[in-house]
Amino acid sequence: MYEVFLKEIKELLRDRKTLMFVVALPLLIFPIIFALIGFLASQAALEAKQEVHTYAIVNAQYAEPFAKEVFFHKSFKELEQKHSYQSIEDLKAAVEAGTIDVGIYIPQDAQGSLDNGEQSTWQVIFNDAQTINFLFTNLKEVADKYAQQLQSAKLIELGVSEDAQAALLQPIELEKVNTADQRENLGEKIGAYIPYLLLPLVLTGAMYPAIDLGAGEKERGTLETLLLTPLSRTQVVLGKFLTVFCSGITSAMVTVLSFGLWITLAGQFIELDMLKEAFGTVMVTDLLLILLLLIPVAAIFGSLALTISIYARSFKEAQNYMSPLSFLVFIPIIVAIMPNMELTAKTALIPITNICLAIKEIIKGTVDLGLVGLIFAATVVLAGALLAFCTYWFNKEDVLFR
C-alpha cells in the first residue's frame, strides 16, 4: 500500500496542474475574492451615493419649502429644460424615456389637506430595479424633514410647546443594547460564506488527482501493470486513496493557513477598527478546529472522487461524472446559508451542512465543542463507509474493466 502511495505522490508532485489546484489556488483565492468583492461593493455603493439624479416636481407651488429643500440637496438636480408635466402618467413616461430620473407628484389639495390636519399622499416615480439605490432614501429624508417642520408648526398652533412635542409624539423610546460582540456580529454575517470557499477547494484538491489515478491509469494502460504486482487490490486502492486524501487535506491546510494569513495582514494594513476587533479574536485554535473538521471531509471527497474515477473508462468520462458531484456539494452548503439554520444535535448529523454550520459558529466564537465532537464522529463514520464502498468497487471486475 505504501509503495503505491509513494509512487502516486511522486507522480502527483510532477503534475503542475494538480499543484496549481492544490496549492496556488487556495493560497491566492482568499485575497483575490475578498479584495475583489470588497472593492466592487464599495465602489458600487460610493457611486450610487454620489450619483446626482435629475428630477421634476408637478404642483411644486403647493409645497414650496419641500421643493426648495430638494432643489438645494446635493443628490438632486432639477430638469433644466422647460416641461409640461401635469400628471403621474407624464412623469412615468419621462422616467421611462430617461428624461428624468425621478418625478414627484404633489396633489393640488396638498396645502388644504395639511392645513386641515389631514394626511396628504405624494407619489414618487422612479425605476427601483437597481440593487443599490439611494434615490428614494435621500428623497424620503427630505420629505421627513419637511413633515417634521409642518408637524411642529401645527402642534405649536395647538398650544403644544417644543419641549412637550417629543414626549407627545414618541412617549416611549426603545434603546437597543446588543449583547453580541463585533466578532459574533460579523461571524453571523460572513461566517456562513467561509465554507462556500473552503469546501469546493477541498473537493477540487481531491478531484483532479482522483481522475488521474483512476480513469487516467485506465486510459494510459498502466493499471494492468499495477495489478500484476504482488500487492492486493485492497492495498492498491488504499494507496491511491491515501494519495487523493493527502492532496485534499493539503488543499484544506493551505486554504486555512491562507485564510489565517490574510486575516492577519488585513488587520495590519486595513484601517477598519471593526474588522480588527472582530477578526483579532480569531485564535490559532479556531483555525485548527476548522482544519480538524475538514480532515474527514477530505476523506469523503477523496473516496467519492476515486469511486467515480474507477468506474469511468477515460479521463474525459470521469470529468463528466464529477460535475454532478460538485452540485451535490454546493446544495448542502446553500442549505447552511438559509435563514434560521442553526447548529443543533439534529443538524449536526446532516453531512456537509453540519461542517458549514460548525465553521460559522467557530468564526462567531460561539461554537459548542460537544456538537463539534458529534460532527467529527458522524463525518468519520461516513468517510469510513464510503472508503469501504470504494474498496469493494475496486475489487469488482465488471467495474474495473468496463
pLDDT in tens, 364-396: 888 888 999 999 999 999 999 999 998 888 888
Whichever domain contains 62, its CATH number is: 3.40.190.10
Q: Which amino acid is at 321?
A: Y
In a domain, 132, yes or no: yes
In a domain, 36, yes or no: no
Task: Return the residue matching grid coordinates 475574492.
Answer: 33
Report pLDDT for 272: 54
My answer on whether 219 and 348 are in the same domain is yes
Please report which residue ranges of 270-314 form alpha helices under DSSP H. 273-279, 284-311
Integer Cα distance of 352 and 362 in angstroms: 15
Cβ pair 297, 201 in contact under 8 A: no
In a domain, 241, yes or no: yes
My answer on whether 222 and 134 are in the same domain is no
My answer on whether 354 and 393 are in the same domain is yes
My answer on whether 161 and 70 are in the same domain is yes
My answer on whether 319 and 355 are in the same domain is yes
In a domain, 83, yes or no: yes
Grid cell for residue 241: 486513496
In a domain, 41, yes or no: no
Q: Which residue among 143, 169, 195 closes a domain? A: 169
Top pLDDT among 61 and 180 is at: 61
My answer on whether 66 and 196 are in the same domain is no
Length of the chain: 402
Strands (E), 1-158: 53-58, 76-78, 102-105, 123-126
Structural domain for 373, as ranges: 1-31+182-401
In a domain, 84, yes or no: yes
Chain-centre distance for alpha carbon 9: 34
Cβ pair 289, 277 in contact under 8 A: no
pLDDT at 273 over 90: no
Residues 6+ apart with CB under 8 A from 381: none
Residue 301's SS3 state is helix
Top pLDDT among 66 and 49 is at: 66
Round the average pLDDT of the chain to a whole number and report it: 81
Residues 6+ apart with CB under 8 A from 109: 120
In a domain, 177, yes or no: no
CA dihedral 55, 56, 57, 59 (to 10 degrees): 170
pLDDT at 151 over 80: yes
My answer on whether 248 and 332 are in the same domain is yes
My answer on whether 64 and 124 are in the same domain is yes
My answer on whether 250 and 271 are in the same domain is yes
Report pLDDT for 328: 79
Residue 133's SS3 state is coil
My answer on whether 104 and 223 are in the same domain is no
Integer Cα distance of 5 and 165 in angstroms: 80
Q: Which amino acid is at 138?
A: N
My answer on whether 118 and 27 are in the same domain is no
What percent of the chain has pLDDT above 90?
10
Angle at 11 between CA 8 and CA 13, to 5 degrees: 110
Report pLDDT for 209: 84
Q: Which residue among 117, 137, 169 closes a domain? A: 169
Q: How many domains does the chain have?
A: 2
Sign of the CA dihedral running 201, 205, 207, 208: positive
φ/ψ of 352, rounded to 5, equals 65, -50
Angle between helices 284-311 and 315-337 in degrees, nearest 10: 140
Integer Cα distance of 361 and 344 in angstroms: 11
Angle at 201 between CA 196 and CA 203, to 5 degrees: 100
My answer on whether 121 and 195 are in the same domain is no
Most confident of 223-227, 233-237, 352-356: 352-356
Chain-centre distance for alpha carbon 55: 36
